[in-house]
């Protein structure tokens, strides 16, 4: 057997040969050692002509890697070196590999031997754990055996099996993978704990949301969503995405979500909320930015008022099945600074469904993101059912699987179209407060008649009339025209709201015994379940209170 005929096919041999050519000779010719000290001693009797003149078997017997040579269609053993015999035991020459080399079967190498014989091309399998617990990288190289070679009774094609011990590398890689898995599990746990464990369900909307982390090879991102009840029948809806990965992104996301809930309690317009978030994001971590869409639903207006900081557009399917895409205005992501955000609106009437989502749902490396949004529009057009059903159908339609390469957050909200008995539980009544002092008794008479027609219990009826009287009196004393009284009932609460043209927000204060004024808001706050005030988009303010309805 000529060692030089197949030694060039062993891993690394060609690189070493090239290195000798470039440096002007072998390491031995340069006075250097090409093997560790122990191996150098074993090769001390190497002929002066170098490796090319050394018999192949002598070389193979001495190298520390595991070497076996098999030949023929049933891969009969022609040779195993000392390292192989030391590791797996002595093997009988001439026996078929399936019987005499069971360790190759356990690592799945026998089919590979067939492939090498058929294709005459080398094959390699990396880091396979063999019996005994050590890991090896196996290279199977085709070898042409000359007739008459003393390798068995049948001459013909042979395969050289070369196994390098990579146990240390495999264990280090496994420790690294275990560390990465642990970090990812920590990030996923943190991410999920920072998301709302149970979505708030407003009276007028039905809402569901889904979060799916990326696959095991994808680091957890900073996707989040939230639903915030503002009072007075209004609801804030938020979705965002921190442009980062891992625990740090999840931590930044948690801080932004907490800040959004705090700012939402101020009942500010959407663009003002994003303006506050923009400055905060830069303070939290100037190296990370985030996209965010913040929308407010007011059942009295029949629309979503929203602002966007670099986020993808909200999609709305109306009761006729037509898809509306929220357009401008949109600003740059949070944390970039120097931008004045603005609010826009998109219709959301009875029977409508809206979708807020992060880029993981629609972004693919092989196509433009606009194509992904268009695909989502088509999927939304045909997705019916409850909000949770719609969430699941959109996830499937966009091809999001467990091994998806990015986080995905989707929130679906619906405003039901109510008829019959359900429609009777949702009522509105409004009165323009014209004139002077006579507006107060007119408002009380209006509230008395409306609340009686809604068949409220006497106690709730009287409290509602009292709250109406105090809110109207406060507006007449401190506000400016135009003034309006609105009464609204849902299946869960009675809402009373008075608007006027003055933007000075009332505050609750302690009235002294001798004071003739200053008790109105205090009375409302005492008798109502909740109360609040906000500035209205066109100027002016709204002051409201709520009463929880007794459960049936």
The residue with greater pLDDT, 178 or 23, is 178
**pLDDT of the residue at 13:** 41
**pLDDT of the residue at 251:** 82
Residue 230 pLDDT exceeds 90: yes
The token pair that represents 116 in the structure block: 């090498």
CB of 441 closer than 8 Å to CB of 431: no
Give 309-327 as a DSSP string.
ESPPPPEEE-TTS-EEE--
**Cis peptide upstream of residue 329 (ω within 30 degrees of 0):** yes
Using only C-alpha atoms, what is the Rg of the chain? 38
What residues have CB less than 8 Å from 336, skipping those under 6 apart?
Answer: 278, 282, 289
Lowest-pLDDT range of 352-356, 396-400, 485-489: 396-400
Could you confirm whether domain 57-165 is CATH 3.30.450.20? yes
Residue 351 pLDDT exceeds 50: yes
**pLDDT of the residue at 317:** 96
Strands of the sheet containing 408-415, edge to edge, are 206-212, 408-415, 352-357, 315-317, 323-325
What percentage of residues in the chain have a pLDDT greater than 70?
Answer: 84
**pLDDT of the residue at 552:** 63
- CATH architecture of the domain with residue range 423-548: 2-Layer Sandwich (3.30)
**pLDDT of the residue at 49:** 45
Q: Where are the beta strands (DSSP E) in 40-134?
A: 66-71, 76-80, 123-129
**pLDDT of the residue at 158:** 86
CATH class of 196-415: alpha beta
CB of 188 closer than 8 Å to CB of 212: no
The HSE-up count of residue 167 (CA atoms within 13 Å, CB side) is 9
Confidence class for position 243, pLDDT limits 50, 70, 90: confident
Residue 119 pLDDT exceeds 50: yes
Average pLDDT over the chain reads 83
Residue 11: C-alpha distances to residues 4, 7, 108 (Å): 14, 9, 20
Residue 413 pLDDT exceeds 60: yes
**pLDDT of the residue at 146:** 53
pLDDT in tens, 425-471: 999 999 999 877 889 999 999 999 999 999 999 999 999 999 999 99
Across the range 275-299, mean pLDDT stands at: 90
Lowest-pLDDT range of 50-54, 223-227, 509-513: 50-54
Residue 54: C-alpha distances to residues 4, 28, 45 (Å): 10, 14, 10
Give the residue extent of every domain in the chain. 57-165, 196-415, 423-548
**pLDDT of the residue at 268:** 92
- Cα–Cα–Cα angle for 442, 443, 449, nearest 5°? 90
Residue 167 pLDDT exceeds 60: yes
The token pair that represents 531 in the structure block: 């109360």
Across the range 469-475, mean pLDDT stands at: 94
The residue with greater pLDDT, 74 or 294, is 294
Q: What is the largest CA-CA distance in the chain?
A: 124
Residue 312 pLDDT exceeds 50: yes
CB of 224 closer than 8 Å to CB of 193: no
Q: For residues 56 and 9, what is the distance between their CA atoms, to the nearest angstrom?
A: 14
pLDDT in tens, 142-166: 987 653 444 444 445 789 999 999 8
pLDDT in tens, 40-97: 344 444 444 454 565 777 777 778 889 999 988 889 998 999 889 888 888 899 999 8
Highest-pLDDT range among 221-225, 491-495, 508-512: 491-495
**CB-count exposure of residue 153 (10 Å: 0-12, 13-18, 19+):** exposed
**pLDDT of the residue at 15:** 40
**pLDDT of the residue at 40:** 39
**pLDDT of the residue at 520:** 86
What's the predicted TM-score (pTM) here? 0.70
SS (H, E, C) 212-238: ECCCCCCCCCEEEEEEEEEECCEEEEE
**pLDDT of the residue at 189:** 75
């Amino acid at each position: 057997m000529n060692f030089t005929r197949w030694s060039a096919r062993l891993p690394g041999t060609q690189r070493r040969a090239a290195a000798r050519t470039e440096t002007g000779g072998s390491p031995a010719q340069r006075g250097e050692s090409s093997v560790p000290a122990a191996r150098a001693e074993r090769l001390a009797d190497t002929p002066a002509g170098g490796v090319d003149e050394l018999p192949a078997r002598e070389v193979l017997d001495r190298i520390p890697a595991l070497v076996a040579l098999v030949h023929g269609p049933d891969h009969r053993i022609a040779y195993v070196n000392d390292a192989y015999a030391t590791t797996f035991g002595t093997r009988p020459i001439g026996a078929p590999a399936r019987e005499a080399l069971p360790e190759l079967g356990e690592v799945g190498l026998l089919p590979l031997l067939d492939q090498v014989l058929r294709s005459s091309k080398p094959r390699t399998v990396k880091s396979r754990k063999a019996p005994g617990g050590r890991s090896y990288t196996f290279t199977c190289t085709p070898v042409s055996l000359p007739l008459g070679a003393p390798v068995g009774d049948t001459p013909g094609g042979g395969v050289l099996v070369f196994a390098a011990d990579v146990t240390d590398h495999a264990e280090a890689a496994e420790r690294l993978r275990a560390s990465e898995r642990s970090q990812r599990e920590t990030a996923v746990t943190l991410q999920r704990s920072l998301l709302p464990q149970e979505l708030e369900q407003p009276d007028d909307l039905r809402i569901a949301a889904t979060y799916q982390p990326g696959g095991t090879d994808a680091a957890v991102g900073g996707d989040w969503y939230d639903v915030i009840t503002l009072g007075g029948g209004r609801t804030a809806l938020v979705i965002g995405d921190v442009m980062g990965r891992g625990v740090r992104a999840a931590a930044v996301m948690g801080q932004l979500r907490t800040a959004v809930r705090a700012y939402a309690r101020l009942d500010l317009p959407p663009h003002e909320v994003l303006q506050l978030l923009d400055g905060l994001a830069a303070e939290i971590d100037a190296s990370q930015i985030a996209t965010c869409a913040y929308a407010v639903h007011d059942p009295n207006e029949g629309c979503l008022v929203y602002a966007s900081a670099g986020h993808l557009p909200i999609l709305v399917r109306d009761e006729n099945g037509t898809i509306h895409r929220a357009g401008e205005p949109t600003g740059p992501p949070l944390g970039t600074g120097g931008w004045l955000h603005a609010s826009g609106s998109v219709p959301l009437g009875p029977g409508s469904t809206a979708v807020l989502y992060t880029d993981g749902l629609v972004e693919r490396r092989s196509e433009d993101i606009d194509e992904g949004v268009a695909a989502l529009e088509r999927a939304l057009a045909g997705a019916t059912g409850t909000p949770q059903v719609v969430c699941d159908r959109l996830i499937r339609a966009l091809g999001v699987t467990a091994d998806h390469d990015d986080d995905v957050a989707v929130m679906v909200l619906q405003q039901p179209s109510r008829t019959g008995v359900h429609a009777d539980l949702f009522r509105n009544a409004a009165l323009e407060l014209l004139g002077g002092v006579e507006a107060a008794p007119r408002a009380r008479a209006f509230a008395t008649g409306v609340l009686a027609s809604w068949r409220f219990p006497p106690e709730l009826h009287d409290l509602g009339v009292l709250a109406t009287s105090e809110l109207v009196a406060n507006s007449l004393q401190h506000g400016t025209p135009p003034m309006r009284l609105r009464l609204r009932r849902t299946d869960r609460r009675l809402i009373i709201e008075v608007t006027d043209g003055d933007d000075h927000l009332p505050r609750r204060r302690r009235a002294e015994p001798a004071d003739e004024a200053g008790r109105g808001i205090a009375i409302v706050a005492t008798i109502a379940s909740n109360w609040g005030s906000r500035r209205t988009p066109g100027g002016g303010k709204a002051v409201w209170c709520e009463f929880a309805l007794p459960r049936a």
